Structure 1
Amino acid sequence: MKATRNFRRPRVLIVGCGDVGMRCVPLLQHAHVFALTSHAERSAELRAAGVSPLVGDLDERRSLKRLAGLAPTVLHLAPPQKTGDDDRRTRALLSALAMRRAQALPGIRGTPATIAPVGRLRRARASWAQARSLARLANIVPDGLRRAAASRAPLRFVYASTTGVYGDCGGAWIDETRVTEPANARAKRRVSAEQQLRRATARGTIVASIARIPGIYAANRLPLARLEKLTPALVDADDVYTNHIHADDLAAILVRLATHGRPARVIHASDDSSLKMGEYFDLVADAFGLARAPRITRAQAEEQIEPTLLSFMRESRRLVNRRLKEELGVRLRYPSVEDFLREAAGAEEVAKDAAKDVASRP
């Protein structure tokens, strides 16, 4: 019975099921969720969360064969590889997914085609509609036809990109129509992935929606270690605007995109905050009773801060999230960083009081 229920449930494949992917799982409770992982040791953790693990590596195409035809909805949350300007991992994933074979419709010559282009989809749907009408007259349930039509439908595809594709915007407010100008190889690979998905959507092989994501935070993703080490931040005159989204809100946005995202449409998965980087660190420090980060000039930062962290201090922008609210109808649980920190600080005080109460008992 359990196998039958799983067969009937809609299927969703999560590629790159880390922290955010695991937060998506409870939101997909009515679906049979699969997760691609390159770490076999994570299989037990995934099963415990109700996920069917698939061990495979986006850098090893032969390991991706089982993904073909597995699920009609894909959440692609995996980052690109660490070198080059082209996102080879997204290319490998699209190639593996395109290997699914559509069952032949009755009266139509079967082919081992990849996901059908738009013209063929229209002809297949027309044949399906005609056959369905005939079946209704004959009081027949056309299960084979239904499966064939479903196998030819384009995949729903959600991609987790980054706002780094814009490069430095000088602190300007920008929306999703802003031209991409990636300033580093990491962002160029994200642009490559987006372009691959747009082309596949134009061909009719998938229906891809793209979430451009800023800095992700949560209780387990705060810069507490950085603050404890007294890593410097920039003085206000040299500081940059950053953007944020809570990991739970991000998971909800990605799942919403899977059902309501428009083809090849970009959405800013960002909250309403308008903070400079140093302001963000100060808020976190104050909420957790830590010393604020010391401030240094940009010239000093070039000498004292390691290159990867410094790269984030070179880009300044503020994101407009109107599409997120008006098109997707998303209501953020944490509209700003301050909303979360107030809740987190309150929870910490409650925990401290509870610990004191336990310690005072005889």
Structure 2
Amino acid sequence: LAAAQAVLITTPPDAHGCPALRALTPLAGDAWPDWIGYVSSTAIYGDRAGGWAFEGDPLNAATLEGARRARVERDWLDGAQGMGLTLQVFRLPGFYGPGRSVLDRLRAGTARLVRKPGQVFNRIHVDDVVSGLFASMDRPRPGGVYNLTDDEPTAADIVTAWAAERLGLPHPPEVDWTDPEVSEAMRRFYLDSKRVSNARAKAELGWRPRYPSYREGLEAIIRGDELEDLR
């Protein structure tokens, strides 16, 4: 830690809080770096019935994982304030990128067109997560909390249908979000319906997502795959 200029905490919380906070606190002394980032989740907002969620809103997580994230955010923010540390919190939706997207599931034949009327949520390309973190390192603000999301919250079935058409594949089978074919991890995304604002990150960090919607993000992955095939 004494040699680090920045530390990013990505460990998920457990029943006792944040494993990284427990591990680092006894070792740190006064050798904390100039920038500390904690990666949290937009799941802490809970359901907004399709409405917008902002950083200053009350938290109402609908899942145990979301509730644990909210608790650990408080632990980090309170601890950092007490020690005078420059800690920032980044709330992420589901993220995607090369090797981790609906494109891979479509090609593997495991994708499903999951429908839940009225349901909508954000997502973000992994490159935009990284650029948001570096933007914060350039403009650190102690206690800053930021949503890093795309600009266009969209229902998952719309994204899946668009991706299938772009790949020239048939639409995958339709299933209800409660169907056993939908994994427990995926089903958690359908518990909440909300639009998450990224306005604060844009205003305070000067950040803009390179891929403002799923279309630009998935298109970039497809182009990368095509270049790889040519090689």
Who is 1:185 aligned against? 64
For structure 1, list consecutive stretches of 5 or more residues without a partner in the other structure.
1-66, 100-114, 116-150, 356-362
8 Å CA contact 1:216–1:246 kept in 2: the answer is yes
TM-score when scaled to structure 2? Answer: 0.86
- Residues in 1 aligned to 2:183 and 2:213: alpha-carbon distance in whole angstroms: 29
- Residues in 2 aligned to 1:231 and 1:349: alpha-carbon distance in whole angstroms: 21
Q: 1:87 to 1:233 in 2, by over 3 A?
A: farther
- Tell me by how many angstroms 1:225 deviates: 4.5
Does 1:229 find its partner at 2:109?
Answer: yes
8 Å CA contact 2:9–2:39 kept in 1: the answer is yes
Q: Which has the higher contact order (CA 8 A, sep 6+)?
A: 2
Equivalent positions of 1:69-108 (< 5 A) are 69-81=2-14, 84=15, 86-99=16-29
Quick check: which has more Rg, 1 or 2?
Answer: 1
- Tell me by how many angstroms 1:234 deviates: 3.2
Match of 2:165 among 254, 264, 286: 286
Who is 1:172 aligned against? 51
8 Å CA contact 1:302–1:310 kept in 2: the answer is no
8 Å CA contact 1:154–1:204 kept in 2: the answer is no
- Residues in 1 aligned to 2:71 and 2:116: alpha-carbon distance in whole angstroms: 34
- Tell me by how many angstroms 1:202 deviates: 2.1
- Tell me by how many angstroms 1:243 deviates: 0.8
3-state secondary structure, aligned to 1:255: helix
Who is 1:26 aligned against? none
- Tell me by how many angstroms 1:345 deviates: 3.7
Who is 2:35 aligned against? 156
1:12-39 residue CA offsets vs partner (Å, 9 max, x unmatched): xxxxxxxxxxxxxxxxxxxxxxxxxxxx
Q: 1:155 to 1:318 in 2, by over 3 A?
A: same
Q: 1:173 to 1:72 in 2, by over 3 A?
A: same
- Tell me by how many angstroms 1:198 deviates: 1.1
Identical-residue share of aligned pairs (%): 27
Does 1:264 find its partner at 2:197?
Answer: no
8 Å CA contact 2:119–2:193 kept in 1: the answer is yes
Who is 1:329 aligned against? 206
8 Å CA contact 1:244–1:271 kept in 2: the answer is yes
For structure 2, list consecutive stretches of 5 or more residues without a partner in the other structure.
none
Equivalent positions of 1:1-362 (< 5 A) are 67=1, 69-81=2-14, 84=15, 86-99=16-29, 115=30, 155-227=34-106, 228-235=108-115, 237=117, 240-298=119-177, 301-348=178-225, 354=230
AA paired with 2:62? A
- Residues in 1 aligned to 2:79 and 2:198: alpha-carbon distance in whole angstroms: 26
1:300-322 residue CA offsets vs partner (Å, 9 max, x unmatched): x2554333322221111111111
Q: Name the Cα RMSD after superposition.
A: 2.5
- Residues in 2 aligned to 1:94 and 1:196: alpha-carbon distance in whole angstroms: 13
TM-score when scaled to structure 1? Answer: 0.57
- Residues in 1 aligned to 2:34 and 2:221: alpha-carbon distance in whole angstroms: 39
- Higher helix fraction (1 or 2): 1
- Residues in 1 aligned to 2:46 and 2:158: alpha-carbon distance in whole angstroms: 21
- Residues in 1 aligned to 2:39 and 2:164: alpha-carbon distance in whole angstroms: 29
- Tell me by how many angstroms 1:344 deviates: 3.7
- Residues in 2 aligned to 1:303 and 1:337: alpha-carbon distance in whole angstroms: 26
Q: 1:204 to 1:173 in 2, by over 3 A?
A: same
- Tell me by how many angstroms 1:172 deviates: 0.8
8 Å CA contact 1:287–1:345 kept in 2: the answer is no
- Tell me by how many angstroms 1:205 deviates: 3.8
3-state secondary structure, aligned to 2:68: helix
3-state secondary structure, aligned to 1:327: helix
Who is 1:58 aligned against? none
- Tell me by how many angstroms 1:162 deviates: 0.8
